[in-house]
Amino acid sequence: MRYPTPFFTRLSSAKVDSKRTFYHPELDALRFVAFLAVFMHHALPGDARVYLDKGLSPAVTEWLLAAKEAGAFGLDLFFALSAYLITELLLREYKNRGSFSVSAFYVRRALRIWPLYFTFLALTVFVVPTIIPAERFGPIYIISFALFFGNWVCAVMGIPFSVAGPLWSISVEEQFYIGWPLLLRFFGMSRIKQLAIAMLILAIVTRVLLAIIGVEHPGVWCNTIARLDPIALGALLAFSLNGRAPEIKKLGRVVMCMFAFGAWWLAAKFLGHDGPTSVATYGLSALASVVLLMAVLTTEALLLRVPPLSLVVYLGRISYGLYVFHLFALALVMQRAVALGFELRVLLAFLLTVTLAAISYRWLEQPFLKLKKRFSYRSPPDDGLDRSPRGRDVKSKFATS
């Protein structure tokens, strides 16, 4: 007798071909969701009186403010996505050639991140203050952000009142990009699971210690070690799936998405960014982010290639630029378009963000992205051989028998 398979427990039998380009359009769509969450977190007012003056009840206002705060957890989704994709790509390269090039990986990451990042930092220092007089981005922030330890300065001194403030998270990403390949090279690819579990434990212990000594926000929020949960879970997901996509029924995907967004919402409503509850806050947000990642990951994303859904995929493809420019667009529009209603200003800021990101992607980022191909791993001829160390050992045994 055959029993029905639970809707969330199977993996697709169609394994991703490791010799083909790894691309999932649904992950670009998810990137846009992550950006949109962060955008709404920054765009929506945090003053309860704004909502009460519109006739909303105190209870509804509280939940709306919680939804606004929940948008900040879009960062965890970005972290989980990065960890999943980077680990997956390193695993694929390792499987095909038995190792991976750390230096080539660093160059590829630099070509992706640095051009827009340093261009925007330069604009923030030399141009933005002439447009937005309230801009405050002092020397300590300029130096630390330029050297990718800005998040640590933010953890100690607070996030600057600057359009570049959100870029502290790029420091976290860069620290992951630097450290993860070195850990995998030193401990071995087979130790990804153990390394991920160790990172989870380290993050929890760090938050416990920070809560005990009374570190306040953003001392936990911007602390790389305390925020390792989504990175660890994203890497663990890549290792567990091993190139496969989870085979989940549509109802299961809907339930998982509802759980993920609900977990973000409840965490924002009842838990904190610091103090004792923060021990659970970031773990719950990370779990929700990975559940959301699993819910959308599929081998069949053809609908996302059809307009207007393909627009969402495109917006996800330029999500790095969206994230970099969004606070500048919000600050500029809120300052210069005061005659417009609040809703129109938010819409205008969103459209300006998309315009700036599209220009950046086309004229600044793409030329460097094309250079990445020179440092990309080229798959060997498909001769049916497994080039991983284990595969080479098996081949040698047969050769000497």
Residue 214: C-alpha distances to residues 210, 225, 268, 360 (Å): 6, 17, 20, 41
Residues counted in the chain: 401
Asked if the structure places residue 270 within a domain, the reply is: yes
Asked if the structure places residue 5 within a domain, the reply is: no
Task: Report pLDDT for 303.
Answer: 57
C-alpha 67/C-alpha 26 separation (Å) is: 24
Total Cβ atoms within 10 A of residue 357: 25
Q: State phi, psi for 56 to the nearest 5 degrees.
A: -80, 150
Asked if the structure places residue 92 within a domain, the reply is: yes
Asked if the structure places residue 8 within a domain, the reply is: no
Asked if the structure places residue 389 within a domain, the reply is: no
- Domain ranges, residue 194: 16-376
pLDDT in tens, the chain (401 residues): 333 333 334 544 344 444 556 678 899 999 999 999 999 999 999 999 999 998 999 999 999 999 999 999 999 999 999 999 999 999 999 999 889 999 999 999 999 999 999 999 999 999 999 999 999 999 999 999 999 999 999 999 999 999 999 999 999 999 999 999 999 999 999 999 999 999 999 999 999 999 999 999 999 999 999 999 999 999 999 999 998 888 899 999 999 999 999 999 999 999 999 999 999 999 999 999 999 999 999 866 655 666 777 899 999 999 999 999 999 999 999 999 988 999 999 999 999 999 999 999 999 999 999 998 787 765 554 444 445 544 444 333 333 32
Task: Report pLDDT for 301.
Answer: 61
Task: Report pLDDT for 329.
Answer: 98
What are the tokens at 164? 């570049």
Is the pTM above the cut of 0.85?
yes
Asked if the structure places residue 396 within a domain, the reply is: no
What are the tokens at 187? 């401990």
**Max Cα–Cα distance, the chain, nearest Å:** 83
Task: Report pLDDT for 233.
Answer: 98
Asked if the structure places residue 11 within a domain, the reply is: no
CB contact at 8 A, 65 and 48: yes
Residue 375: C-alpha distances to residues 15, 96, 344 (Å): 26, 16, 44
Instruction: Count structural domains, the chain.
Output: 1
Task: Report pLDDT for 228.
Answer: 98
Asked if the structure places residue 392 within a domain, the reply is: no
Q: Which are the contacts of 293, defined by CB distance < 8 A and separation ≥ 6?
A: 27, 30, 77, 80, 81, 84, 234, 237
